[in-house]
Amino acid sequence: MRLDKILSNSGYGTRKEVKRLVKQGAVKVDGVVAKDSGMHVNPETAVIEVNGERLNYREFIYIMMNKPQGVISATYDLRHKTVVDLLTDEYMAFDLFPAGRLDIDTEGLVILTNDGDFAHRILSPKSHVPKKYYALVEGKVTGEDINKFRDGVVLDDGYKTMPAQLSVISTDECSEVELIIHEGKFHQVKRMFEAVGKKVIYLKRTAIGSLTLDEKLKTGEFRELTEEEVELLRPE
């Protein structure tokens, strides 16, 4: 891999800025001052130092974010703030993107990464990775609703959803529920409840597969996944 790409991916600036660092003699590879920012280096084996500090190169980054309402799951948008906009500068060089989407008015777990294969595993319809949601729903959610969700409900466009697991936390004029779905159609959770005559008034994703949203993360906050958490979402 080119040295300038390694350094740029590690947060040392643009290729142009990295080239300037190299010209200044600030970069060493295996103890030798680098002369060419375009030289090829194996980041797994080479000792790379910048201003005397050893570089701990990471090709892939995995982040858990508690997405707030009003923020869209995209890398760029002219009208709305995106999940990428919430990241700090140290992550900007990694070209992170959200592995999946949450509606603009839905809160909760979003994963950001630059690992395309990892994201595909989460997003692929063939994987059927379960997603868990907490919702507040207008009206009483009944045992009949639970059975309908278990059998799959027909949405407004005629599509019948895969079986989903609906459980009731409390029910009154407004019901608290948890829902696990295994696919990700457009506005799916809201449309499923509309199909049984209910309206979602608050929605939060709390888990993807075996990965649960860290309760310590306030809305808008994020942290990197641990190696163990990353493995939870890898194919068995």
**Is the pLDDT at 58 greater than 90, yes or no?**
no
**Is the pLDDT at 201 greater than 90, yes or no?**
yes
Task: Tell me how crowded residue 120 is: count the other CB atoms within 10 A of its CB.
Answer: 12
**Is the pLDDT at 152 greater than 90, yes or no?**
yes
CA distance 17 to 121: 35
pLDDT at site 128: 85
Q: Which one of 119-133, 163-177, 222-236 scores highest in mean pLDDT?
A: 163-177
**What does the domain layout of the chain look like in residue ranges?**
3-54, 62-125+214-232, 131-208
pLDDT at site 48: 94
Domains 3-54 and 62-125+214-232 share a fold: no
Residue type at 151? D
* Choice between 220 and 9, residue whose per-residue pLDDT is larger: 220
**Is the pLDDT at 204 greater than 90, yes or no?**
yes
- Show the DSSP H helices in 158-215 as ranges: 188-195
Does the CA dihedral 212-215-216-221 come out positive or negative? positive
CA distance 75 to 51: 32
Strands 48-50 and 211-212: unpaired
For residues 139-166, average pLDDT:
96
Domain 131-208 grouped into CATH 3.30.70.1560? yes
Q: How confident is the model at residue 217 (pLDDT cuts 50, 70, 90)?
A: very high
Return the active site residues. Answer: 103
For residues 9-28, average pLDDT:
89
pTM (2 decimals)?
A: 0.84
Q: Hey, what CATH class is 3-54 in?
A: alpha beta
Q: Hey, what CATH class is 62-125+214-232 in?
A: alpha beta
| Three-state SS annotation for 59-124 | CCCEEEEEECCCEECCCCCCCCEECHHHCCHHHHHHCCEECCCCCCCCEEEEEEECCHHHHHHHHC
